[in-house]
Amino acid sequence: GAGVSQSPRYKVAKRGQDVALRCDPISGHVSLFWYQQALGQGPEFLTYFQNEAQLDKSGLPSDRFFAERPEGSVSTLKIQRTQQEDSAVYLCASSLDETTVEQFFGPGTRLTVL
Amino acid sequence: KQEVTQIPAALSVPEGENLVLNCSFTDSAIYNLQWFRQDPGKGLTSLLLIQSSQREQTSGRLNASLDKSSGRSTLYIAASQPGDSATYLCAVDTSGTYKYIFGTGTRLKVLA
């Protein structure tokens, strides 16, 4: 499809495990965003890439969270030593470039930490 | 710190009613404001974008207004339909990089 895809769609992890969440943006999109959405809340910004450069990571809640986009396309959000409070839906969005307003969102990955 | 609040948190209306969703933000220094729709298990879909210099935007049965000075936006939905049932999220961009700050959303249910 032509939209933003995320995998896996659902992930259950035991507390303390590491997880990796993948985002495939729309082909050619320069900007990529990660958001965390807790149950019943709005999404909260985590980090922003322009191509492979991570320009803003101010929203990452702790140093257990790490995001990368090494070739400027696919991005991975990694969470080390998961904790129960990490349970949320992780949304990825992409946009054509830094001047384009419209962001296209993926369906999200629902992470449950037991 | 910018805070975005949406009222009401949930709303249930009969089909055909016109309705208004409210969004307020604490810092009027915004670049733009967007209204999104979120269906269960799906990502967000942009409905309307209002640039900081604009007062309103319209798309079909939807009309969004922006009053920066008072820190408020409203989303007006005319002649509501069951297919409008979803969570509606308001988000503001305060950095010019489209890093949005979202409200908690209004869960709308339109009854047939």
The answer to whether the beta carbons of residues B55 and B65 sit under 8 Å apart is: yes
Residues of B in contact with A44 (CB under 8 A): 102
User: Mind listing the pLDDT tens digit for each residue in A91-112?
Assistant: 999 998 877 777 899 999 999 9
Work out the pLDDT band at A48, boundaries 50, 70, 90.
very high
- What is the arithmetic mean of pLDDT over A34-52? 94
Across A37-54, average pLDDT? 94
pLDDT one-digit tens code per residue, B52-110: 999 999 999 999 999 999 999 999 999 999 999 999 999 999 887 778 999 999 999 99
- Does the pLDDT at position A1 exceed 80? no
Which residues of chain B are within 8 Å of residue A101 when distances are taken between CB atoms? 32, 34, 49, 98
pLDDT band for position A82 (cuts 50, 70, 90): very high
- What is the distance between the alpha carbons of residues A58 and A46, in angstroms, rounded to a whole number? 7
Cα(A21)–Cα(B91) distance, integer angstroms:
24
Minimum-distance CB partner of B99 among A42, A56, A106: A56
Grade residue B41 by pLDDT with cuts at 50, 70 and 90: confident
